[in-house]
Chain A
Amino acid sequence: MGMTVAEKILAAKSGVDRVLPGDIVQASIDVALTHEGLGPMFFPEFERFGRPIWDKDKVVITIDHFVPAADIKQAINSKLTVEFVKRHDIKQFYPYNGPSHQMIAEHGLARPGEILVGTDSHTCTAGAFGTFATGIGSTEMVAVFLEGKLWFKVPQSIKFVVTGELRFGVMAKDVVLEMLRMIGSDGANYKAIEYTGSAIENLSVDGRMVLSNMAIELGAKVGIVPPDDKTIQYVKARNDKPFTVYTADPDAVYEAIYEIDATRLEPMVAVPHNPANGVPISGIADDVRIDQAFIGSCTGGRLEDLRAAARVLKGRVAHSDVRLLVIPASREVYRKAMDEGLIEIFFNAGAIIEYPNCGPCCGLHQGILAPDEVCVTASNRNFPGRMGSPQARLYLASPATVAASAVEGRIADPRKYL
């Protein structure tokens, strides 16, 4: 019986030949990520032990949630983070560079065959590079900082096979909203996902990151795209540390295999208040008025996302009732978007363009909603209160759909603008 990608990585990192679902293993951690949002609560817990970090060159720290700080408490969190970095001489400190998950990819720290843990549920984004990447709690990170190891129960694997070709105007976000609609927001709870099939192979690195990013919305431990030439080229261009590529054995065992024909997908919208409430855009009433449209976050702020939004917005202006927010996912994305003229398109469309940060996606600042306001967002969660008032209503969609909705002042199909 063969092994899946997740099983091969866990076996290699725990020093055994093979593992089976349900086994509990102690695995070595290759990269440990934290940030000012959820780091400062465990820094004192770690320092109470009076021991050094097990390998400080495997620790990556950033400041991405409170950028720049909106209140004194946020400012204190950032200050505590900077002080911790200095005290422990952490070299891989990459603050003020957008959501950590984009920063990790751009620094070549999401590498095939490695284990990456982070105190952030969207750490699973790195699965797009064949990394066993998962979010952990702050207290667990104390154990990682001390010993460089963490216990895992080997998850059952499931597989999505996405065949065919995405049609014009349909993006990776629409694919993942369809996956959520199919199996629900706990459809992959505790499990490892593999994303395969011709439509996945044809996705860019940006698009694959959207799928892996929202693996957590399916409940998954990891969401892995098996590495191919695109992955290898991307990582090698950014980091010269060697890595091992694992692919699934032909006789690997999957608890379930789900097939999606990409050709039949249309743009999807997840209606309030769960990411699994996906509806094809043709099924959305034509009078869902919106107050805010958000293009950004670790899900929807990459270059490909901004290009799609800009194609819709070029020569157009956001509806007068709509606040249009645009946040590039990193400084690199921001720079390229400027060079390509995308930022100018957003500016001319009346957008509020913000510096890369997590901001409004998790209701921290820079785009908080009032009661009864409606927002269509390219981010990842539409739970009550996620972006401000619990009485606000959030719709998840692709960046193209968000842009088209901004133009019309109501949720709108992007295909007529592309």
Chain B
Amino acid sequence: MDKIRGRVWKFGKNVDTDVIIPGRYCNSIDYDELAKHCMEDIDPDFVRKMSSGDIIVADTNFGCGSSREVAPLAIKHAKVAAVVATSFARIFYRNSINVAVPIFESEDAWAGTDEGDELEIDPSTGEIRNVTKGRSFNSAPFPEFVQQIMSSGGLVGYAEARLAAQQ
């Protein structure tokens, strides 16, 4: 996987999937429409302020609550390049891998990063470099099979590739 470089939008603890994509929009499976409302209930201007390739940095328990897979999908289709958090809620963590949203769990990146900083993330080593501050943080790199899911565009693409290889 290529390195990810982008500008930081910072959030606190317990960012739940209801604020990532409110239930009132979950009657739609048009992902570009969902993307317009990404993070709306925590920052109504988020989608207008951000640019393609930006990075979300949050504290503990990011993505708690509803299992809605449209939460990572809204982030993906809003063109957020990666999410870095002190910790993730478990269903969100699995969903993000399955729909190929790069996520990185780092103990100290949140505390050592301010909004607007520039980060560069190397998915193969898990290194998160704060370019603005000249500091680096660690995160666990993805195991090989998770990297393959990511580079296949998600679990469905990965399963298709595996089934095709069997035949």
Contacts and interface: CB of A to CB of B under 8 A. Distances in A.
B98 A274 contact: no
A256 interface: no
B67 A136 contact: yes
Contacts, number: 122
B18 A383 contact: yes
Nearest to B72: A137
A18 to B, nearest CB: 23
A139 B61 contact: no
A377 interface: no
B26 interface: yes
Given A73-B27, A363-B22, A381-B18, A38 B69 contact: yes
Contacts of A119: 67, 69
Contact of A137 (B22, B23, B87, B98): B98
By secondary structure, the A interface counts as: loop
A142 B95 CA distance: 12
A185 B61 contact: yes
Interface residues of B, number: 37
B103 interface: no
A355 interface: no
A139 B65 contact: no
A41 B64 CA distance: 21
Contact of A390 (B27, B41, B155): B41
Contacts of A45: 156
Nearest to A364: B23
A413 interface: no
A18 B4 CA distance: 40
Contact of A189 (B18, B70, B87, B154): B87
A77 interface: yes
Contact of B22 (A138, A143, A216, A385): A385
A186 B94 contact: no
Contact of A146 (B28, B66, B159): B159
B19 interface: yes
Interface of A: 37-38, 40-41, 45, 48-49, 66, 71, 73-74, 77, 119-121, 123, 135-140, 142-143, 146, 185-186, 189-190, 216-217, 219, 221, 274, 362-364, 368, 381, 383-386, 388, 390
Interface of B: 14, 16, 18-19, 22-24, 26-29, 40-42, 60-61, 64-70, 87, 89-91, 94-95, 98-99, 154-156, 159-160, 163
Report, nearest first, the 9 A-B pairs whose CB atoms are least far apart.
A385-B41, A137-B95, A121-B67, A186-B61, A390-B41, A363-B23, A135-B67, A73-B27, A137-B69
